[in-house]
Structure 1
Amino acid sequence: MEPILLPLNYDFSAFHVLLPLQGKEFSFSIHNVPKGEEFLRNAKLECNEELRSILRGVEHLVQERLNQSVDLHTFVLELKDVLERILRTQSLHSLPKPAFYADLCSNLDAVGWEHLVWLADDLSSLHFRVFDSAGREHILLIDLPPGFPDVQPTASANLPVPVDLRSLHGASLKDIVSQYETAIERYQEFWKVMEDVDSRVWVMEPDHPSRADVFRRIALGGHCSLSILVDPLSPRSVPECRFFGSDAFVSPLRKLLNSGLRKWDQSRLLIANLEAVLELTFPSAQDTDNEDMSADCGICYAYRAQDDPASPNMGAQKGSIPDRVCDNANCARPFHSTCLLEWLRSITTTRQSFDVLFGHCPYCSHPIAVKSTHG
């Protein structure tokens, strides 16, 4: 990719430069750039600590290239050449010891080459494929330090609970793979339960559930939903539940959940138990109107408020979700409290008592109130 030169002022005497190189993007600024065909003798180069560290010891060479360049583009290409040489030399110096390659091949023989699906060009990381007892494919990512095998590799996989490898100090790749295979078998029941959830109901969140996700937000219809947090080690037990929506709709469901837990039968899957306790059938994505399922804020038309870093729901994503709903059961539009607050403040008929604003729903004019955080 070509370098990108971004002017920082109207007279084009200062530029911010983005220089893509070896999969990274280096950035720096140049000031006092002359107009016309003058040399860059008086130009000043400003770079961050990373680039300054790479260029340490060759500052005189960079300054010489700067003095001899007739324009900014020429200098940027000269600097790119210098950086390529330095990075190439650093890469050669950082190559692992010869024993590293023999140990790696020996470890791969022990694991089985048929499990290897990807290997980095510099041999710093690799991916193994393993299958569980239900035939699910799992990818295990392993990073190899230059000091391998004396230095412990790090590993990760898409599991609901990370695997602790601290007890495997000095372990081989086969030991690490075996540890993950054991962990994967531990979550067979969890994945069976979550696959049943994903296939039977309308999952609003996450958009694309992974095998590590223990959270689901399930549509109930009428702009209402249920969030569940499932214990991966006991997936058939009662999950942590939270209802979202109009009180007229969700209050009876809360009461049914609290009073009907005696109906919970761990021989059944999660959705079957929830339907029995809540005395309902969850709507599916195939047979329900999208508008009825929507949980987007009725004012900003977004699900997550972009200006709020807090996340009150049980998911890992950032941004607050609609937390105020119109109490009119025929409307039941959801809103972010911040959006509703701003809307009510813009309406002249809104009245305030202490820290609560009273007004009307933007859709149905039903009375609605929201607490002001600003008094």
Structure 2
Amino acid sequence: MDDADLALLLKYPLISKALAENAVTYKGTVHVNEEDYEICVTNSNDTNFKLTLPERLTSFEAEVDAVITKEQPKNIITVLDIICTFISTKIPFTEPIDRCEVYRHILHEYSDFTRFYLNIKSCFLAHDLSKVRISTLDQGRREHSFEISANFDDKNVFSVTSYDLPLDKEEFRKSASLKDIYDELLGTIDTFQPFFEVMDEFDRNCWVLDPEEPKRSCGYRRIWIRENFSVIITLNPVDVSRLPEIKLLGPERLVEEYRSNLNSNISEWEPKNGVFSETLKLLGLESFPQKPAVEERVPDLLVNSGDCSICFSSRLNDKLPEVICKNKVCENCYHVECLYEWLMSVNARRFFSDVVGLCPNCEKNITCPIPK
């Protein structure tokens, strides 16, 4: 080992030297301002040094190269000195934040929380203390999962960041107490018990087309009534006794029939008799049709009942077809997005929030809402 190699080892012990046929490569780590930086310097002759900096410093490579070209260092140690000086100037040292008290508080809160609530189904604290995942059961034995995040820079360290409830995130307050956050969550779940019970009744007793896997936060159900005809029933989660919003989807002749039923029965709405049974009464039904054990699809047909007649599928971006041609000899279904793109491609006319053109199947007038 010559004197130059010994000097390099003493000053930059984490830099290794590799000899090639026409160049020498110096590669390794330099420690600046309490941080490590991986660098690589290739020397093809005494004064030609080629520099490679880590990704977070690549924007500075041209400036460092300019300094090295100007000063023309004679050895690798001078080059490394220039690099380290440049890094210390561009990325000044920041005193690390002492969060020991915050971490201690989170661990203390989590320990007390898991001892106090014995009926929690599961509880998990992330290894970096950044979040707590909780799963619990409500009065109806329905499971609810939450994620509570920890903000190390806020005195109210805990906040709810993930849940499946029909409300806005802004409704949950931050708190320094994990138990207070959880108590507020339990109270919110209790207020929605009537809503959960009614939605469960719809799920048990109807052929629900949409959503495929209903979440607790979802306040609507699209229910199959008969071929090419369905209804979207939307409830108010805060007050399920209110008259639900009902949207009829299907051929015009069927829409008019069920709209007549709604208009005739709406004055008899009495939620005390049960929201589910009263909704049936609104629609003039004794019961909702049940989903068959095996849904029949005719393999020889390109488009089955309920499929979009443009893309030939039932779902597009997790949405079912909602536009149905009013022509009684057609009554084909279309996704809003599919029909809109089709109509725009054939120069359909736009009226406010709708597009009017010719049905791709029967070439009679059809109206499509503009996708949001």
| TM-score category of the 2 structures, normalised to the smaller one | 0.5 to 0.7
Q: How much has 1:271 moved relative to structure 2?
A: 3.3
3-state SS of paired residue (1:175): helix
- Counterpart AA for 1:368: K
Paired position in structure 1 for 2:252: 247
Q: Partners of 1:255 and 1:39 in 2: how far apart?
A: 89
Structure 1: unaligned runs, 5 residues or longer: 1-36, 42-54, 69-74, 83-89, 307-316
Matched, 1:177 2:182: yes
Contact 2:119 2:136 in 1 (8 A): no
Paired position in structure 1 for 2:14: none
Contact 2:132 2:148 in 1 (8 A): yes
Q: 1:301 aligns with which of 307, 312, 318?
A: 312
Distance 1:250 1:289, change over 3 A: farther
- Counterpart AA for 1:103: H
3-state SS of paired residue (1:65): strand
Q: Partners of 1:343 and 1:188 in 2: how far apart?
A: 44
- Counterpart AA for 1:157: Y
Distance 1:182 1:140, change over 3 A: same
3-state SS of paired residue (1:260): helix
Paired position in structure 1 for 2:233: 228
3-state SS of paired residue (2:243): coil
Paired position in structure 2 for 1:261: 266
Calculate the TM-score normalised by the size of structure 1.
0.61
Q: Partners of 1:79 and 1:208 in 2: how far apart?
A: 46
Structure 1 stretches of 4+ with a deviation exceeding 6 A read 37-41, 55-60, 344-347
Q: How much has 1:326 moved relative to structure 2?
A: 3.0
3-state SS of paired residue (2:259): helix
Contact 1:236 1:268 in 2 (8 A): no
Q: Partners of 1:229 and 1:372 in 2: how far apart?
A: 22
Paired position in structure 2 for 1:209: 214
Q: 1:145 aligns with which of 144, 148, 151?
A: 151
Q: How much has 1:95 moved relative to structure 2?
A: 5.3
Q: Partners of 1:373 and 1:136 in 2: how far apart?
A: 38
Q: How much has 1:65 moved relative to structure 2?
A: 2.0
Q: Partners of 2:238 and 2:369 in 1: how far apart?
A: 40
The CA deviation string for residues 231-256 of structure 1, in whole angstroms up to 9 with x for no partner, is 11222332111111110111111121
Q: How much has 1:121 moved relative to structure 2?
A: 0.7
Q: What is the percentage of aligned positions where both structures have the same residue?
A: 25
Q: How much has 1:368 moved relative to structure 2?
A: 2.3
Paired position in structure 1 for 2:65: none
Paired position in structure 2 for 1:165: 172
Q: Partners of 1:194 and 1:60 in 2: how far apart?
A: 56
3-state SS of paired residue (1:210): coil
Q: Partners of 2:222 and 2:180 in 1: how far apart?
A: 37
3-state SS of paired residue (1:285): coil
Q: How much has 1:334 moved relative to structure 2?
A: 0.6
- Counterpart AA for 1:189: P
Paired position in structure 2 for 1:275: 280
Contact 1:111 1:173 in 2 (8 A): no
Contact 2:321 2:335 in 1 (8 A): yes
Matched, 1:322 2:321: yes
Matched, 1:285 2:291: yes
Paired position in structure 1 for 2:333: 334
Give the superposed CA RMSD: 4.5
Distance 1:294 1:57, change over 3 A: farther
Distance 1:372 1:180, change over 3 A: closer
Contact 1:216 1:229 in 2 (8 A): yes
- Counterpart AA for 1:65: C
Paired position in structure 1 for 2:40: 65
| Larger deviation, residues 217-226 vs 99-108 | 99-108
Q: Partners of 2:231 and 2:104 in 1: how far apart?
A: 56
Q: How many residues align structurally?
A: 287
- Counterpart AA for 1:112: Y
Distance 1:268 1:99, change over 3 A: same
Matched, 1:194 2:186: no
Q: How much has 1:93 moved relative to structure 2?
A: 6.2
Structure 2: unaligned runs, 5 residues or longer: 1-20, 26-30, 44-50, 58-93, 299-303
Higher relative contact order (CA 8 A, sep 6+): 1
Calculate the TM-score normalised by the size of structure 2.
0.62
Q: Partners of 2:217 and 2:315 in 1: how far apart?
A: 22
The CA deviation string for residues 111-155 of structure 1, in whole angstroms up to 9 with x for no partner, is 43663521101111112233222222222321122257x323111
Distance 1:143 1:40, change over 3 A: farther
3-state SS of paired residue (2:364): strand
Q: 1:370 aligns with which of 357, 361, 366?
A: 366
